[in-house]
Chains A and B, each alone.
Chain A
Amino acid sequence: MIISFIRRFSNAILLLWIISIIAFWLSKLAPGDEVMDYLSIDDSRYNINSNPLELQNAYLQIAHRRGLDLPMFYWSISPGYYPTHVNLVLPLDERKSLKSWIDQSKNGNESVLLHDQLKSGLQIYCTNSNSIPFYNVLCQNFNNALKTNDLQLLQKNMLSVKDVLLKDTISNPEITDQLSGILTLCGKLLQKENSELVTTWLPLIEWNGTHNQYHQWMSGLISQRPLTSLVDGLNAWTKIYDALKWTLLLNGIAFLLAIILGVRIGIWSGAHDGRPIERIVNWILFALFALPSFWLGTLFIYSLTSGEWLSIFPSGGLGSYQRAGSVIEKWSILFSHLFLPVMCLALGALAYVSRQMKQSILHQLQQPYVKALRAQGISERTIMRRHVIRNSLFPVITIIGGSVPALLSGSLIVEVIFSIPGMGRLMYNSLLAHDWPVVFPVLMLGAAITIFSYVLTDVVYKWADPRVKTV
């Protein structure tokens, strides 16, 4: 038993580690550039006069704060013709262009050289773009070039800049020399016969050590080091705790109601199967089970809170419980706000539990041991209480085991409809905002609880029925 438990526990840990890697990689596959999203302001006034270098510095600052300037994993694999550290180039659009130049030319070193030259030009011209004539034009053109994927287009653009400069009397030889150097590099890259094709077929594997994004995140998670939300700068664990308490309260009450009432109704239905009243109850339960919670929630809100029909419950949120004068008043405010969401969650679950329980009771009642007990003259009541109900509890144990993760992960739709700041809403908002320091702990917490609740369910199975064999 203990060995089996240890084996299951170690498998669970391994599974969690695999989930963490998958989650991490999926987050990296999220589209768009989260730093640019963060930096963008929806007001055209604030883009006037913006200096590319200043924006780039701001980008690098945010990327550093988010750990995006580190390698992603312990090792990285790229095509053989890629020079090392290409995957560390930031901003992302510059990395994309650099990779595109390398892919077009298969010449990694010269592509990096071109990137470095453009970068150093950007530094010089953008720093002094306000004070030296024509530097602003060069600054913008170098910035454009760094973000141009097509080498031919880049060469064409730089050539026209050089032509304009040569026509202009204010040009100086240093600048034209630099432009000539860039054009020569472009020319070389476009001549594919110079490419380093020898290494094309061998992948480049780089060992990044523990200083990588995954390790930083994982060690932060394990050591409970402060994980800071990227959206509001709050501690991620504090945000999770704040949301978890409401989700636990909401789902806990709903869960208890569903189990207690569901089991009782299931036993009653099983014992009174086929009677007209049981059929009506069965039909109602089936209808409740079929109703989606968002529909039930909207119906409750519309008919019981708005005054369109009745206005006996508050329409959402948790109310002003903080201003309550006494504990009773506080809980009264909270219950008034939680009643409808609890009902939304409990009614569907109750229907499900009672139907499972009923089926199980009916199954047990047909077993030979029940006939034997009846033959011995034992009363129906005793048979039900001592034997049938106990043996019928298996599906309920499964349901309880399977429901524990849902207790913590929250019910997004009900939380949104009733404005409850629980885990579902936290996870949804954090995902939309790419707030990974909040998303990962929530995800891992959910995964850990799901896995361990199944391990525990197995143990409880064995306790409830010693015939269950350890696999």
Chain B
Amino acid sequence: MVRRDIQHISAIVFLFLLILTSCKTGTDTPTPLAVNVRIPIEPETLNPLFGKSSYVTQITSLILLPIAEYDPVSLKLSPLLITEIPAAEKVTEGKHAGGQRYQLHFRPEATWSDGKPVTTDDYLFTLKAIFNPYVTAATTRGFLNFISEIETDPKDILHATAYVDSSYILALEVITNFNLYPAHLYDPQNFMSKITLDELRDPNKKWSAEQDTLLKQFATSFESPHFGREMVSGAGPYELDNWTTGEFIRLKRKNNYWGDKITNAPLLIQAYPTEITYKIITDAATAEAALKSGELDVMGDVSPATFIKMRADSQWSAKFQFASPGLLQMNYLLLNNRKPVLADKRIRQALAYCLDYDGIMTNLLQGLGQRNVGPIHPSKSYYDKDLKPISQDINKAIALIKDAGWKDTNGNGIPDKIIDGKLQELSIGIKITAQEEGKAIANILKENAKKAGIEINIEVLDNSQFNDDRRQNNFDIEPMRMRSNPAIDDPYQNWHSASDKPGGGNVSGYHSIAADSVINEIRTDPSKQERDHDYHSLQEIIYEEQPVIFLYVPLERIIVSKKFEFLSSSRKPGYFENLFKRAA
């Protein structure tokens, strides 16, 4: 009997101890200024050249710096590792005659983590690393191909001259806007110094066996987890402190950071928090709970419903700040203009008139978005404000369908037409993934289009199949989003007929001689006034043709603890961790 009692008492004591130890313990040891940020997906690497998710860019932008980057406030290129943004100089003689030249002067204060100076050798090394044919950076190479030569100054390790052969509008961005790697840390055996950039860029170059081995060895090492997860080093204010797989990534501010010595330092090289922890929390409800309980300080990409609800609740509005800057992103319905039905602009216009945009803005986005008319983001100075966003007009849609020769001849309620000798119903498919936003838009389209007689069939696909079908042009409609950036827009990739090719960006298959001609002008226009005029013309053409249906520009939803002062921006992710300060 006594033994039984002892057993019961032990069990109760064990349970009590278990619950006692299980209750919330003190969180992290307080540090001078620590910021906890939620990320829903774990980055696969912290080598920005090979990372796919936007979180790789978000985290590595604090570790590795480009020589110039778009300022979060002015959205203009700001010099980070160079003393000033170089001006374009016309080249009149020599092998680059007709092109442009940029003088790059590196900051003498800028150093790597080990205190060694950032020099033009590192700049050249980074380009060589990217152009190494065994490094899987083919798409980045495509962008950097505009650089025709880099000339380093043998007398000054901080001075280089970059040449661009054509007067391309993004030339300055191409030269300055890629992350720099420290040559002595990423290539300690100096493999890449034995090969020149010109050799690497020569498509007919035949490598000797020794060179081939060196290139392969470097590529294997450069892409290895060592440089992706352990030795992640750059000229930025932070370095990797701890990456515990599946749990968190912690950055700590460098001791003796060079940026502290710069007076009036650009925003992106300033750094206030001593520690930034990215907590990997997949589930949105758990992340919301962690934010409310104080385990998180910052949460971006909050669902519109949660954002609105928390902002309206006095309990949470007393503890948190709510920011909703306009994102540099445009959501649209991608239409396959190659399909016989959608090749007729009247059908594309009819679809555009079917949609209940007000319903989308109110119900789906809870008002956290704005309409746009075409491929230019509304924040850009050359956005055409005279064009009015299309509103729902079912009668106009019906008239357009009729005008295009569609009529219900077989009495099934769906207009039809003979195309290439075959009876074709006005039935269009929309392919979506399991993503909620796409599902909602597809359902709205289906419901709205039905009012004009158009049948919409929804097909839900796995991500990989969804992307593959788009690459193979095997789709009618797909809901998509288009990332914009603060740079001047180059519409060539998405709207020029020459980009309608396998792997090209003109996925809609839009062909217009007028648009092509305007795009060619934009790419080489030397004057801003003329370029702006051409941008307006392009927007008018696309507005009229509706090769895709532009839906909205979403507003970012960011919640930040009132413990901090922070700066919101339309640049992704909408906040800048390095600029977080303790609230007064």
Contacts and interface: CB of A to CB of B under 8 A. Distances in A.
Given A33-B468, A317-B281, A416-B283, A48 B490 contact: yes
Interface string B215-254: 0000000011100110000000000001011111000000
A315 to B, nearest CB: 4
Interface in A300-315: 301-302, 305-308, 311-315
Contact of A332 (B21, B281, B283): B21
Nearest to A136: B498
A411 to B, nearest CB: 14
Given A144-B501, A320-B28, A311 B139 contact: no
Given A55-B503, A339-B22, A306 B288 contact: yes
B464 interface: yes
Q: Pick from A48, A307, A426 the residue with the most CB of B within 10 Å.
A: A48
A317 B247 contact: yes
A302 B247 CA distance: 21
A128 B204 contact: yes
B14 to A, nearest CB: 11
B245 A62 contact: no
Nearest to B204: A127
A48 B286 contact: no
Interface in B431-465: 461-465
Contact of A313 (B23, B464, B492, B503): B23
B467 A40 contact: yes
Interface residues of B, number: 77
B29 A323 contact: yes
A231 interface: yes
Contact of B45 (A34, A233, A302, A434): A233
Interface string B279-314: 111110111111011010000000000000000000
10 contacts: A41-B140, A50-B142, A54-B138, A58-B138, A306-B292, A311-B24, A314-B295, A320-B27, A336-B21, A434-B464
Given A39-B138, A47-B503, A31 B293 contact: no
A301 B242 CA distance: 27
Contacts of B465: 31-32
B409 interface: no
Contact of A319 (B25, B133, B492, B505): B25
Contacts of B94: none
Interface residues of A, number: 82
B504 interface: yes
Interface string A396-421: 00000000000000000000111111
A416 B287 CA distance: 11
Contact of A416 (B133, B282, B490, B492): B282
A315 B492 contact: no
A323 B28 contact: yes
B50 to A, nearest CB: 9
Contact of A51 (B28, B142, B292, B490): B142
Contacts of A144: 501-502
B492 to A, nearest CB: 7
Contact of A316 (B18, B44, B286): B286
Interface in B450-497: 461-465, 467-468, 471-472, 482-483, 485, 487, 490, 492-494
Given A44-B483, A233-B223, A37 B285 contact: no
Q: Pick from B23, B145, B283 the residue with the most CB of A within 10 Å.
A: B283
Given A47-B139, A231-B44, A315 B290 contact: yes
Contacts of A243: 246
Contacts, number: 224
A402 to B, nearest CB: 26
A42 B246 CA distance: 24
B142 A47 contact: yes
Contact of B286 (A42, A315, A336, A429): A315
B411 interface: no
B247 A318 contact: yes
A306 B281 CA distance: 14
Contacts of B499: 47
Nearest to A137: B498
A32 B465 CA distance: 4
Nearest to A232: B44
Interface in A260-293: none
A307 B290 CA distance: 9
B203 interface: yes
B136 interface: yes
Contacts of B203: 51, 53, 127-128, 130
Contacts of B27: 314, 319-320
A74 interface: no
A336 B29 contact: no
Contact of A37 (B134, B141, B464): B464
B52 interface: yes
B285 A302 contact: yes
Nearest to A333: B25
Contact of B464 (A32, A140, A307, A416): A32
Contacts of B322: none
Given A49-B142, A55-B503, A242-B246, A315 B289 contact: yes
A61 B136 contact: yes
Given A48-B143, A58-B136, A144-B502, A239 B464 contact: no
Nearest to A422: B246
Contact of A47 (B29, B170, B245, B505): B505
Q: Pick from A43, A51, A53 the residue with the most CB of B within 10 Å.
A: A43
B142 A46 contact: yes
Given A128-B204, A232-B229, A314-B295, A30 B464 contact: yes
A432 B283 CA distance: 16
B19 interface: yes
A25 interface: no
A31 B464 contact: yes
A39 to B, nearest CB: 7
Contacts of B145: 49
B357 interface: no
Interface in A174-222: none
B56 to A, nearest CB: 11
Given A62-B136, A313-B24, 16 more contacts: A31-B465, A33-B471, A42-B483, A45-B485, A47-B504, A53-B203, A54-B141, A128-B204, A144-B501, A306-B289, A308-B292, A312-B23, A315-B290, A320-B28, A336-B24, A420-B246
